[in-house]
């Protein structure tokens, strides 16, 4: 039974992890570099949502605040720091994005200090399904995460701009030939990708507490999820997030919680060794 409980917990954390993992992989698909600033941006989103929630906004409104703050910050740093470097290769841009993450982390530290803070959510009794325990708040955040994911999938599959984004990720030269403006798609990718990362930071913080290292703690799991599913593949990021979430919870039963972080490393190592293109390959959405 304890294994089933761990599986359920893994599904919950996997759902939450999937949101920023989609953002990360979508940015990679369009902008062609791994944007490690997601650590700082996730933290920023978590704190923006914290302020909005504290100011009396509902959960959905607070998530929107997290989305906007993180999206704008991500876009700003992409424009001034990362994208000018992509021309030199993915590595310089990736290194610059690590620096951006550190900058944002310390901006948050300057404003809020190091103490953990909790979203002041009403306490609710856990719900039991047989012997499996789930909190109503977990169900709520899971529902929000799933709704957001569906919205992203629908936008990519059915809207003109969503298709243009997939086309640019798939074949940038042909997309440009057909009049799809690459700068516009890049701007959109930064804004939405980082917005999702900010929402993810808040969703993952809702369950526990947030501090300046909130985003840094999920960076490895998030990156592992994207690599496992296939960098650049949105369905892959979702699949990877579920697998990493479940593996992390199960690992606690086997090797103890202090080695939980090793799951991400092991997953990345295994994928790079056995299947470098990831489980779904780079199917670009």
Which span sits near other proteins by CB under 8 A: 130-138, 161-169, 217-225, 247-255?
161-169
160 lies in the site for other proteins, by CB under 8 A: yes
Cα–Cα distance measured from residue 109 to residue 167, given in angstroms and rounded to the nearest whole number: 39
Phi-psi region of 32 (alpha: psi -120 to 50; beta: other; left: phi over 0): left
Closer to other proteins by Cβ: residue 26 or 197? 26
The residue length of the chain stands at: 285
Short-list 208, 206, 238, CA closest to 222: 238
Minimum CB distance to other proteins, residue 209 (Å)? 40
109 lies in the site for other proteins, by CB under 8 A: no
- Sites for other proteins among residues 121-140 (CB under 8 A): none
Minimum CB distance to other proteins, residue 253 (Å)? 38
Closer to other proteins by Cβ: residue 176 or 262? 176
163 lies in the site for other proteins, by CB under 8 A: yes
32 burial level (CB within 10 Å; 0-12, 13-18, 19+):
middle
**DSSP structural state of residue 123:** P
Minimum CB distance to other proteins, residue 27 (Å)? 17
What mask of x and - would describe binding to other proteins in positions 88 to 107, judged by CB under 8 A? --------------------
Using an 8 Å Cβ cutoff, are 259 and 251 in contact? yes
CB neighbour burial string for 91-121, b if at least 16 within 10 angstroms, e if fewer: eebbebbbebbeebbebbeeebeeeebebee
- Choice from 121, 133, 178, 275 touching other proteins (CB under 8 A): 178
166 lies in the site for other proteins, by CB under 8 A: yes
Minimum CB distance to other proteins, residue 241 (Å)? 20
In the complex, which residues of this chain contact other proteins (CB under 8 A)? 160, 163-164, 166-167, 170-171, 173-180, 283-285
């Amino acid at each position: 039974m304890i294994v089933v409980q761990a599986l359920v917990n893994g599904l919950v954390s996997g759902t939450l992890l999937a949101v920023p993992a989609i953002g990360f992989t979508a940015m990679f698909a369009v902008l062609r570099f791994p944007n490690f600033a997601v650590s700082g941006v996730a933290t920023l989103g978590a704190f923006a949502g914290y302020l909005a929630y504290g100011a009396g906004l509902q959960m959905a409104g607070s998530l929107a605040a997290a989305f906007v703050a993180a999206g704008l910050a991500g876009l700003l740093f992409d424009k001034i720091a990362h994208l000018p470097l992509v021309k030199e290769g993915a590595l310089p841009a990736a290194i610059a994005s690590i620096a951006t993450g550190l900058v944002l982390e310390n901006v948050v530290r300057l404003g809020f200090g190091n103490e953990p803070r909790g979203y002041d959510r009403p306490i609710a009794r856990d719900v039991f399904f047989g012997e499996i325990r789930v909190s109503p708040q977990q169900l709520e955040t899971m529902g929000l995460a799933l709704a957001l994911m569906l919205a992203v999938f629908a936008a990519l599959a059915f809207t003109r701009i969503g298709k243009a984004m997939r086309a640019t990720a798939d074949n940038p030269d042909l997309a440009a030939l057909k009049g799809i403006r690459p700068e516009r798609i890049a701007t959109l990718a930064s804004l939405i990708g980082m917005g999702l990362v900010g929402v993810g930071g808040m969703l993952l913080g809702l369950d526990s507490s947030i501090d300046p290292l909130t985003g840094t703690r999920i960076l490895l799991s998030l990156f592992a999820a994207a690599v496992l599913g296939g960098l650049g593949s949105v369905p892959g990021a979702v699949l990877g997030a579920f697998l990493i979430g479940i593996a992390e919870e199960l690992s606690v039963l086997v090797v103890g919680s202090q080695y939980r972080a090793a799951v991400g490393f092991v997953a990345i190592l295994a994928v790079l060794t056995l299947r470098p293109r990831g489980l779904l390959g780079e199917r670009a959405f």
